Amino acid sequence: MYKSFKTLFFLKKGNRYKGGAMPIYVRIIIDGQRKELSIQRSCDPKNWNQKSGRARGSHHEISQLNSYLDAIQGRIFDIQRESELINEQFSPELVKNKLLGVNQKQQHSLIEVYKYHNQQFADLVGKEFSGGTLKKFNSALKSLQNFIRWKFGTTDFPISKLSHQFITDYEFYLKSIQGIQHNTAMGNIKKLKKIVRQCVANDWLDKDPFMSYKIKIRETHRAYLSEEELQTLTNKEFSIARLDQVKDIFLFSCFTGLAYADVMKLSPSDIAIGIDGEKWVFTTRTKTDTASRIPLLPMAQEIIIKYSNHPKAVSTKKLLPTLSNQRLNSYLKEISDACGFTKELTFHCARHTFATTVTLTNGVPIESVSKMLGHKSLRTTQHYAKILDIKVSADMNILRSKFSAQSPQKSETGT
């Protein structure tokens, strides 16, 4: 925030001045910094009041000149108020540029652009994006608004003032003030990066503040069911219909690798005969919009048959009965307790179980697993492979046996 601000109208005598009218200039001084510019008007020195910075007299032309000077002064005050309103740095250069109307980019603010992004995003929910992703963007926006209010005491922030410092301060706020985990904080910052990149692309920002900032995601443990736990769940019978139904939907995901949003949107038409003459799931991942083709295992087919005439599935024209993710996870907690599991069971555990216990552990090549999961990059799938010590052990036992068979036998003489 500036501490001092002053404007002054004065006559400027050029090097070739030989008498008569002199050009009028305005000097803008803010915190000791100054800029001068001609206002394209002139006045005879004998008619000029240096103290007031106005022309003397009551002649019509003098009155018109003073009215023009008043208008310039008023415009400068307007620029001052506008810059304070949008938290823009108020400087002599800014005033000069705005008075001359040169090199002026349309001013935008961060929250304004973020809201516009989310509004457009909302229009594409169900077409290109999921409602869950929109919910995350809205949550990230609210977090950013809280940060700006906490840090700057305002409701918005000018895009032109975004910097590396802004990002690091935001990271500090997310972790220390909001108290959220590192990866969640990085998720919020990643969404901010998308908004900032759009501003750079639109030429609203000269330099990308993320150029020297690296978003680092820490590797986390991905919960999944072991083979024994998967068998326990499969064999577990529930007399309560809602728990039995949730168990089946969860198992369907365990044997197909489909995420919650993708399971809930499946319709009977998504099941078709694949290249091998068997039934496959043909769908597109809601999260990444990538194709996912999955051969149906027997357990998954049994679940489809079980719910083929279910009233809710039939009325909604879905493959399986639909439930909200919140209710599913709530019921999964009851199921986990009933099975005696110590780990927290969420619906996404089913997708991890498919990747690890069902496929990778049983020797399905990681390239095939990646294709079925709809991953865009093999690196994403490799996160699952890192945790499979049992698979590493099995592979090394094969190698150990191979080397043992090739080892030369000790001679009978002991040499």
Length of the chain, in residues: 415
- Please enumerate, as own/partner, the contacts of 77-81 that have beta carbons within 8 Å and a separation of 24 or more: 80/5
Decide if 205 contacts 171 (C-beta within 8 A).
Answer: no
The pLDDT, as a whole number, for residue 106 is 63
The pLDDT, as a whole number, for residue 402 is 80
Q: What angle do CA 65, 71, 72 make, to 5 degrees?
A: 90
- Dig out the tokens for 244 from the structure: 């039995």
Question: How far apart (Å, rounded) are the C-alpha atoms in residues 366 and 382?
Answer: 8
Question: How far apart (Å, rounded) are the C-alpha atoms in residues 108 and 202?
Answer: 11
The pLDDT, as a whole number, for residue 413 is 47
Helices and strands (H, E) in the chain, number of each type:
16, 8
The pLDDT, as a whole number, for residue 102 is 64
Domains, the chain = 5-100 (no CATH), 110-212 (1.10.150.130), 227-397 (1.10.443.10)
> Among residues 221, 223, 285, which one has the least CA distance to residue 254?
223
Per-residue pLDDT of the chain (415 residues; tens, 9 = 90+): 678 999 999 999 888 888 889 999 999 999 999 999 999 999 999 999 999 999 999 889 999 999 999 999 999 999 888 888 777 778 888 888 888 876 555 678 999 999 999 999 999 887 777 777 889 999 999 999 999 999 999 899 989 889 999 999 999 999 999 999 999 999 999 999 999 999 999 888 888 999 999 999 887 777 899 999 999 999 999 999 999 999 999 999 999 999 998 999 999 999 999 999 999 999 988 777 778 899 999 999 999 999 999 999 999 999 999 999 899 999 999 999 999 999 889 999 999 999 999 998 888 988 999 999 888 888 878 777 665 666 677 778 878 888 877 666 544 445 4
> Among residues 385, 257, 245, which one has the least CA distance to residue 318?
245
CA 46 to chain centre: 65
Question: How far apart (Å, rounded) are the C-alpha atoms in residues 149 and 213?
Answer: 23
Residues with Cβ within 8 Å of residue 332, at least 6 apart in sequence: 246, 250, 345, 346, 347
Phi, psi (deg, nearest 5) at residue 29:
-125, 120
Question: How far apart (Å, rounded) are the C-alpha atoms in residues 188 and 16?
Answer: 62
Overall pTM surpassing 0.85 (yes/no): no
